[in-house]
Amino acid sequence: MHTDTILIVDFGSQYTQLIARRIRELEVYSEIVPFDEPLEITKNVKGIILSGGPKSVYEADAYHFDDSIFKQDIPMLGICYGMQIIVKYFGGHVEKHDTKEYGKALVDIIKPNALFEGLKSSETTWMSHGDRVVKTSDNFDVLAESNHIISAIKHRDKDIYGLQFHPEVNHTQHGVKVLKNFVYHICQATAGWKMRDYMHESVETIRSVVGSEKVLLGLSGGVDSSVAAVLLHQALGEQLTCVFVDHGLLRHEEADTVERVFKEYYQMHFVRVDAKEKFLSALKGVTDPEQKRKTIGKLFIDVFKETAASLGDFKYLAQGTLYTDIIESGTKTATTIKSHHNVGGLPKELGFDLIEPLNSLFKDEVRKLGDALNMPKEIVYRQPFPGPGLAIRVLGEITEAKLEMSRKCDHIMHQVIKADGLEDLIWQYFIVITNAKTVGVMGDKRTYGYVAALRAVTSLDGMTADWARIPYDTLANIASRIVNEVDGVNRIVYDITSKPPGTIEWE
């Protein structure tokens, strides 16, 4: 598929993936490239965006890229760190300042320009920087300021722009409009990024890569692996075998549901491996969340390898890795937030070539792909579920008793929210069984039970999230049912932390 493209140079911003997503929402293809790799400017590339990042441009170890790109006649937009790189290259001055800008800030537009076409003279934006531009070179105009701090610039002779604020985040009131102006009006890009086109292209790519070889897919039943399975099945048919490792860390009746959907409904080659005892044994005594993930990831690979060997000769291993998995697992420019068992953890001796048909998509785009594949809504729009399963929703050591508490509590929460008509309004909701125990009174007797934490968030892609404002009556019903129906739990709390600073999962 040949479509207009916006390249995004990644300098390690937590929002880099969000920039790509915003551009794709405009139906223009965007591609993220590392800062230290050469930029390939084809005829389809209509513009370049330089992302933010954690470094300072004046530091010795600052991230730099091939700045010969500035000599080419191609529109460019620098965001935060990206703007500071532009300023430094052209002879301006950037410095650290005692007063930092984090959060919402009012930006005054002081010079009309194409980037801010259709915006008001003052706009609410989102800032996240400790350095600031104190002076630009003579060949730049200042377009906007925030409390007398330079917030936007433009080269007088080239379509090179810089923004100190982040237009890609929802907190910038008209940020999408700014990006739209850049993509459509300045870059002259044409909308052509359609999910159905992506689906057809992916099917053809998979077929050309795989040929007549066989593919093994680790199917968890979550949205990502499910969409990957159906996409691969459409491309390869009988060449695909799905292995479902039942590690005993799934939700209420989930394992049976996964088998029913993919073995009976889709009639795929489906192999269910009962490994519950192996996983529980391996997790005995493990309390650190990162160690849980690594333990599960390693054992998952071992079980997978053993199963694959018993099934025959496979050349390819497929995974439902997403963009967000990659960025949270750490890149050259971003530190690890939490490891994902399907990212970067495959030993070379495993013997498979890897296929990741979703690794350029965000969660909401995966759902759109599922729609394009005509998948059942209950599969496409089911809630995200972590690869390590309930192991990271049960804090502390994993026991079968605590897992059963988690399943029952989670099932009750889902029942109540569905009954109250809220399931389509909340992006994700679940229960965390904490490692804390508290005193309670039930039936005139003292109890000493676990604290269960309710977690519910609204989000578009999982990169950022806000806690869901669930009605009090719904919360009261959930809490009442849990303490009355689930042995071992006697107190319920509600997590009202957004992401950032928290994460959606607790571990």
Residues known to be catalytic = 80, 166, 168
φ, ψ for residue 69, nearest 5 deg? -60, -25
Token pair, residue 94, equals 């950037």
* DSSP track, 491-503: EEEE----BTTS-
Q: Residue 104 and residue 151: Cα distance in Å, rounded?
A: 13
Among candidate residues 292, 274, 294, the one with its CA nearest the CA of residue 284: 292
Please name the residue that has the structure tokens 């977690």: 455
Beta bridge partners of 29: 5
172's tokens: 């910038």
How many CB atoms lie under 10 A from the CB of residue 478? 26
Answer whether 384's CB lies under 8 Å from 222's CB.
yes
Tell me the one-letter amino acid at 193.
W
Return the beta strands (E) in 35-116 as ranges.
Answer: 45-50, 76-79, 93-109
Terminal alpha carbon distance of the chain? 40
- Residue position matching structure tokens 């003279």: 121
Query: Which tokens go with 398?
Result: 């994993």
Whether 47 and 182 have beta carbons less than 8 Å apart is answered as yes
Which structure tokens are listed for 428?
């994700």
Q: Which of 479, 485, 467, 489 lies closest to 416 in space, CA to CA?
A: 479
Q: What is the CA radius of gyration of the chain?
A: 25
Tokens representing 224? 């990502």
Q: In terms of residues, how long is the chain?
A: 507
Specify the DSSP class assigned to residue 389: G
